[in-house]
Structure 1
C-alpha cells in the first residue's frame, strides 16, 4: 500500500485489523474481546508508568490482565486493550524502511504476546527463533 500522505489513525487501525484477521482462529479466539485502538502518541501518564522518557520509543502497549493471571472470580475492569501509537510507528517505518503493514503486524503481535502473559524477553526470544 503506497501513501501520498502519512497514514492516518484509521489507516493504521485498518492494517491492525487485517493483521488480526490473519491470525489463526484458535489464537484469535483467545484474544477475542480485546479492543484494538490507535492513538497518535502515548500520553505523559503512560510514559511515566512505563518509565520511558522518549515517546517515540513506545509503538504499542497492552493494557489489561494477561490470560496467565485471570481468574473466573475476578470482577471485570473493562475490556483488555491493545494500543498502537501511530507517530512512533511511522517514525520507525521511516527510519527502518520496513514495510508498514509488517511493522503494524509485528507491533500488534508483540502486544498480543503480552495478553498471553509473555514478557518482552520472552517475545524477543521467540522472535529470535523465527529467523
Structure 2
C-alpha cells in the first residue's frame, strides 16, 4: 500500500466538474452535446433553435425496426423531423425537430474505438444536425471540420 495521493482527475471538455471517471451519465453526454452545439459556426445557430437534443440509453425496438437495424448498439444517434431543404412556408405546426443521442451505443463505440468521448459525441451530434439541414455526408464532414 502506498501513501501517495492520486493526482486530481481532470475531466474531458464538457463533462461536469465532479465527474469521477465512471461511465458518464446522460447529463454528462448532454453537456458534451451542448458544448458541441455551442461550437457550431454562428451562421447555423438561428436554424437549429428549437431543435430538441435528447439523451436516451438505447433506441427502442420500434425505431430500430423502422430503420432496419437489428442490434441496438448499432444506432448512436437519430434525427427526427423534416429537413430544412424539404420545408415549405405553407407548413406549420407539428412537433419540434429532435436529435437523440443513444448513450450506451456511444459509450461502447468510445470504448472500442479509443477516441475521446467528447469528440465522439460531437461527431454523432453534428452528423444528426446535418440531417436537419439536409446535408450530404460530405457536407456533414465539412461542418464537423468547421466546428
1:73-100 deviation per Cα after TM superposition (whole angstroms, max 9, x unaligned)? 1132110000000000000000000000
Residue aligning to 1:4 = 21
Within 2, Cα distance between the matches of 1:97 and 1:62? 25
In structure 1, runs of 5+ residues without a counterpart are none
Aligned-partner SS, 1:38: strand
| 1:95 paired to 2:118 | no
| Pairs aligned (count) | 126
Residue aligning to 1:67 = 84
In structure 2, runs of 5+ residues without a counterpart are 1-10, 13-19
Residue aligning to 2:137 = 123
Give, in angstroms, the shift of residue 127 of structure 1. 3.0
Residue aligning to 1:33 = 50
TM value normalised by structure 1:
0.90
In terms of Rg, which structure is larger? 2
Larger helix percent:
1
Residue aligning to 1:54 = 71
CA RMSD of aligned residues (A): 1.6
Give, in angstroms, the shift of residue 124 of structure 1. 5.1
